[in-house]
Amino acid sequence: MNYFQGKSVWLTGASSGIGLAMAQQLAEAGAHLILTSRRADTLEQVRLSLQHPERHQVLALDLSQPETAVTHAQSELGDQVIDLLINNAGVSQRSRILDTDLSVYRQLMEIDYFGVVALTKFVLPRMIERHNGHIVTVSSVAGKVGTKLRSGYNGAKFGVIGFMDSLRAETAEHGIAVTSILPGFINTQVAHNSLTGDGSALGKPDPDNAGGISAEECARLSLKAIAAQKAEVVVGSGVSKLAPFLQRFAPGIVRRMVAKR
């Protein structure tokens, strides 16, 4: 992965799941990491576990409050060069529309959509000045195919794919690469941390995600796509990998499938 050698990479959601696997693989590839999630103590443990921990730094941010997060990032990073931003932080949902508080929809949008927009806008001016940079967002197959129990998550992930498409069009003339990663079912703690109708965590596994590919494999395939500067890539296996293709070419079949699940 020579693409990442010596690059300054800001990685959100770095303390667990896909983000942790990415951090490990990026460190092995010679990147200099800025590790972000909510808890500084957990991030520090991650930093110390990586190859060449002295190359990496910790920046704890709460992306449910994007404006505050950006203000803190500005004070900590200043004019530090960011070669690659990987917007990986996110939270999922497991609740029916009728049972879901409006506040839960707002929280999903703040983290999964506005957090991406805020950090992208923070790094973008310097990238444009330098005519160099790469912005990545880990969206989801849920950003292409709507399913039960994920209405707020689907909405945020659909929205962020549209944002990334616009970003790609607007920055093409400036030499900035823009990549959207769409994981399908990945075997992580995403279901445990998913929000229920009242905003509490689900706290138990989801059979779909439990049967998915490993976080390590997802990270490997995602970083391969990033290094190739792909515009968009679906990562996964089985029906979750096929779903965006079917949604495009056989939407009626997909509608019947998701209604029955």
CATH code: domain of residue 31: 3.40.50.720
Cα 33 from Cα 27, distance rounded (Å): 7
* Candidate from 109-123, 182-196, 236-250 with smallest mean pLDDT: 236-250
Give me the residues paired with residue 93 across strands.
195
The answer to whether the beta carbons of residues 178 and 168 sit under 8 Å apart is: yes
Number of structural domains (the chain) is 1
3 is catalytic: no
**What's the alpha-carbon Rg for the chain, to the nearest Å?**
18
Catalytic residue among 3, 105, 113, 153: 153
The answer to whether the beta carbons of residues 238 and 184 sit under 8 Å apart is: yes
What's the full length of the chain, in residues?
A: 261
Cβ-based neighbour number of residue 250 at 10 Å:
12
Region for 180 from its dihedrals, namely left if φ exceeds 0, alpha if ψ lies in -120 to 50, beta otherwise: beta
What would the pLDDT profile of 65-83 be if each residue is shown by its tens digit?
999 999 999 999 998 999 9
Domain that holds residue 73: 2-260
pTM, full prediction: 0.95
What would the pLDDT profile of 145-190 be if each residue is shown by its tens digit?
999 999 999 999 999 999 999 999 999 999 999 999 999 999 998 8
